[in-house]
Amino acid sequence: MDHGRVQVIGSQAEYAQALLVATAAGRLAVVDFTAKWCGPCNAIAPVFVQLSNKYPTVDFVKVDVDEQAEIAAAHGVSAMPTFIFIKNGQRIDELRGANAARLEQLIQKHSSAGGAEEEESDLKLPAGHSDVTQNVDKAQGECLNQSTEHKWDNIFKKDDSFLESDTDEQLLLYIPFNQPIKIHSLCFQAPDDGRAPQTVKLFVNKRDMDFQSVDSAPATQVIELKADDVKGDKLVPLRFVKFQNVSSITIFVESNQGGEPTTVIQRLRFIGQAQSATNMNEFKRVAGEKGETHG
């Protein structure tokens, strides 16, 4: 089973360490007290995983009440599922029952970030969409023909770093996400000296592509960027219907705007919806407020 960012506790020492780490970082910790025999617990478990990926500034912890009875007793947990919210070492809230909508509300209420980075004031987002760049799985991504000094993960930083191609103007980025997303549009930022990308081919859910395969494979969409499209304050809309269930996107920069020897991208953002946001709305409450009694 994929646990996402959820830490499954195996001992009291692990639990204490998890809370210490959250407290030291000033983060909210959400503890899911669960049991294998509990139907509502099993129903909401994948939602808890989705939320862990959606809210990277929150720590998510899972405790099996049968395997870690002492921890459950210390918190007075007697019904499952019970979610305990801990911040700065203090218990600040509790939710009993598999109420997915209320669970996310409490996470938003008690977390400082509210689940997403604050958007720059110069970027107007379409209704129902947000910056989902935080869902990029940087550890699994890669870029072919990148400079050793200016690598691909720089495009997700809010500083002066950048990505630059190496031997010629072309770049091939493979960008996976930690959960399926819907992509509405892209936002590029690049210099105005001719090194900004121009012809860009996008491929959805295609792994292990190389420069030969991107030349022969049909692209999901081809976009032609102009100078106004790469200032960091404009959305480049995609054919939304073709970007509905994106687990990874391959971006082939075929050329730049000035015929320069190398291409530079300072920043790239993805605007759309995390699938968990959609799933949460469809998730029906499967237990009463008081949860399922442990018996």
Residue that is written with structure tokens 């082939």 in the block: 252
Residue that is written with structure tokens 């959250």 in the block: 22
**pLDDT for the residue 175:** 96
Distance of CA 172 to CAs 129, 139, 197, 201, 254, Å?
26, 16, 12, 10, 9
pLDDT along the chain (295 residues), means of 10: 85 92 84 96 95 90 96 92 88 92 91 47 71 86 96 91 96 92 95 96 95 94 97 93 95 97 96 61 36 43
Compute the distance between CA of residue 75 and CA of residue 33 in angstroms, rounded to an integer. Answer: 10
User: Could you please report the per-residue DSSP string of 107-121?
Assistant: HHHHSSSTTSPPPPT
Domains of the chain and any CATH numbers: 7-111 (3.40.30.10), 130-274 (2.60.120.470)
CB 103 within 8 A of CB 287: no
**pLDDT for the residue 289:** 38
Compute the distance between CA of residue 133 and CA of residue 66 in angstroms, rounded to an integer. Answer: 38
| Alpha helices for the chain (secondary structure H) | 12-25, 39-54, 69-74, 100-110, 211-216, 275-282
CB 111 within 8 A of CB 104: no
Compute the distance between CA of residue 218 and CA of residue 119 in angstroms, rounded to an integer. Answer: 33
**pLDDT for the residue 21:** 85
pTM of this structure: 0.58
Which residues lie below 8 Å from residue 157, measured CB to CB, with a gap of 6+?
Answer: 267
Compute the distance between CA of residue 268 and CA of residue 136 in angstroms, rounded to an integer. Answer: 11
Catalytic annotation, residues: 38, 41
Determine which helix (DSSP H) or strand (DSSP E) holds 201, and give its type and residue range.
strand 199-204
